[in-house]
Amino acid sequence: MMKVVIDSNIIIDVLRPNPDFETDAKKVFQLIWQNKITPYICANSLTDIFYILRKVQGTEKTKETMINLMTAANILPLTENDCANALASPMDDFEDAIIAVSAYKINADYIVSRDEKFMKAATTIEVITPKQLIDKVS
Please give the domain boundaries of the chain with CATH numbers for all domains: 2-137 (3.40.50.1010)
Determine the pLDDT at residue 18.
84
Q: What is the pLDDT of residues 78-91, one digit of tens each?
A: 999 999 999 999 99
Q: What is the pLDDT of residues 1-30, one digit of tens each?
A: 999 999 999 999 998 878 889 999 999 999
Distance between CA atoms of 20 and 18, rounded to whole angstroms? 5
In angstroms, the Cα distances linking 88 to 10, 26, 81, 101 are 26, 34, 10, 10
Instruction: For residue 1, give the DSSP letter.
Output: -
For residue 122, pLDDT over 80 is answered with no
In angstroms, the Cα distances linking 87 to 54, 67, 97 are 29, 30, 7
Determine the pLDDT at residue 98.
97
